[in-house]
Amino acid sequence: TMKSYIWLQTADGSIQQVEQEVAMFCPMICQEVVHKGVGSSKNHAISLPQRVNPAMFSLILDYCRFHQVSGRSNKERKTYDERFIRMDTKRLCELTSAADSLQLKPLVDLTSRALARIIEGKTPEEIREIFHLPDDLTEEEKLEPLKNTMDDPRIRLLNRLYAKKRKELKERERLKNVEVEEHVDERSVDDLLSFINGRDPKVVKMPKGKKKNKKKKDQKIVSSEEKEGPEDFVDKESHDLHSKEQGAKETESSNIPSTEDDIFTPNAGSEDGDIDDEIDPAMKEMLDREVEDFARRLNSNWVRSLGQERRPVHFSINGNGTTRRHIGIFGGIIFTFV
């Protein structure tokens, strides 16, 4: 049988013919042939995208030639891929670009994975060097990840709405319980107690709330079960909330609990007052120091000897020892605040 060929023109103007089954492995070429009817002769060669230079095209054709054969086992294909991908970083990027413009998804997947493996475990400086990236971020921009940049107003709104709703529900529950109890003959005891303590009987019944109030005093944390403060901020918000709540649709507003707002402020506790009491102060201090350390290092040149300064406690239980080696302490911290 006569083999059919497809005519293709690369960005540099040179025209070549390629076996049909090999060329058609590229979706972009396939589309051109089927939908536009081109490629059947030298005069009607298909113009390949700009990003496909002759060297890359030759590589891609090798790839297609191997993979379009149907009998091969998965193992064979995998072995071929692993070997195919061994090239310098520059060519890898060029190949990714060319494969992408030809819509050759499996090859893009393969090269992306290879590029990801190169990036993995390296410091920003190393990555910039390997890929010739410009170091064009300002100091502040590099520190952005450390700051609390959570300014999504919708999230804040949702948080507050939710917190408010929860509070309302809890209040309702409480009132219900109180009402129920009042029907029982505990009245005399209440009266007695309130007389003794000189306080509102409701407060006496809710020791839990009292305890929380006490804990919260030292912290900026706002918990959904407490009165929100700073007061003026909250009042303003609750005014807005009120009108918003009545007017807005449910799907419009969303928030993470207001406790979230202060989570990333250093020295503030976590989302619940309870938790903070459980972190021992030595550990908190260590955390703060690590953050400071990291901020400093971001701005200075990383030295390879950093690896030796790694503290033994920071190993990830599921982490693969080798890949995490460079991340170690920094991965842990970076990730906390990034």
Partner 1 sequence: MKRQSSVDAINANDQISRLPDEVLHKILSKLSIQEAVRTSVLSCRWVDLWKEMPHLFLDLRKLAKFRTLLPHVIDNDAVRSMTKVINDHRGGHLERCTIYYYSYQCKNRMVEAWIRSLIHVKHIKHLTLINYLCPFRPNTKPVTLDLPPNSFSHPYLKSLHLGRYHIKTPLSFNNCGNLMNLELTGILAEAGVLNAVLMSCPSLEVLVVVINCDKGRGLLKIENRNLKFLYLSCYKIDGIEVSTPNLDILSIGSLWCERENVVFENPRLQFHRNYWTTGKIYAHTSYSISCPDQEKKSIGHEFMMSRSQEFLSEFSSMSVSVDLANTKQVEMLHEVLAAWRGEMEELEVLFKKCNAPSAEVETSIGRTKKQFWEVKKPFSDVNFTAYTVWLSDFSGSKQEIAFASWLITQGMVIKTMLIKPSSSFSSKKLEIEGAVANLKELPKGYSELDIIMA
Segment 143 to 182, residues that bind partner 1, using CB under 8 A: 144-145, 148-150, 152, 154-155, 158-159, 162, 165
Contact window for partner 1 (CB under 8 A) among 60-68, 120-128, 190-198, 301-309:
120-128
Q: Which of 17, 23, 20, 15 is nearest to 4 (CA)?
A: 20
- CA 242/CA 222 separation, integer angstroms: 19
Q: Of 245 and 260, which has the nearer Cβ to partner 1?
A: 260
279 neighbors 271 (Cβ within 8 angstroms): no
- Maximum Cα–Cα distance for the chain, whole Å? 108
Q: Which of 259, 252, 253 is nearest to 228 (CA)?
A: 259
5 binds partner 1 (CB under 8 A): no
| Residues 52-81, interacting with partner 1 (CB under 8 A) | 70-71, 73
**Which residues have CB under 8 Å from 261's CB, separation 6+?**
150, 156, 159, 222
Residue the block writes with tokens 């589309």:
31
Other CB atoms within 10 A of residue 257 CB: 18
* Residues touching partner 1, count (CB under 8 A): 86
Sheet of 5-9: strands edge to edge? 15-19, 5-9, 46-47
Taking CB under 8 A as the criterion, the residue among 124, 229, 266, 307 binding partner 1 is: 124
Q: Of 58 and 323, which has the nearer Cβ to partner 1?
A: 323
Q: Of 234 and 295, which has the nearer Cβ to partner 1?
A: 295
CB of 215 to partner 1, least distance (A): 15
299 binds partner 1 (CB under 8 A): no
Contact window for partner 1 (CB under 8 A) among 125-133, 184-192, 208-216, 232-240:
125-133
Q: Strand 46-47 to strand 5-9: parallel, antiparallel, or no bridges (unpaired)?
A: parallel
40 binds partner 1 (CB under 8 A): no
| Residues 195-224, interacting with partner 1 (CB under 8 A) | 224
Q: Of 233 and 335, which has the nearer Cβ to partner 1?
A: 335
173 to 8, 185, 203, 238, 245: CA distances (angstroms)? 75, 20, 15, 22, 21
CB of 128 to partner 1, least distance (A): 6
Helix axes 281-299 and 328-337, enclosed angle (nearest 10):
100
CB of 283 to partner 1, least distance (A): 7
231 binds partner 1 (CB under 8 A): no
Amino acid at 43: N
CB of 191 to partner 1, least distance (A): 35
CB of 145 to partner 1, least distance (A): 6
CB of 111 to partner 1, least distance (A): 9
- Write out the two tokens for 4: 């059919």
Residue the block writes with tokens 């590229």:
26
Contact window for partner 1 (CB under 8 A) among 39-47, 141-149, 211-219, 239-247:
141-149
Contact window for partner 1 (CB under 8 A) among 38-46, 52-60, 87-95, 210-218:
87-95
Other CB atoms within 10 A of residue 263 CB: 15
User: What end-to-end distance do the CA atoms of the chain give, in Å?
Assistant: 62
148 neighbors 132 (Cβ within 8 angstroms): no
108 binds partner 1 (CB under 8 A): yes
| Residues 246-285, interacting with partner 1 (CB under 8 A) | 250-251, 253-257, 259-260, 263-264, 270-272, 275, 278-280, 283
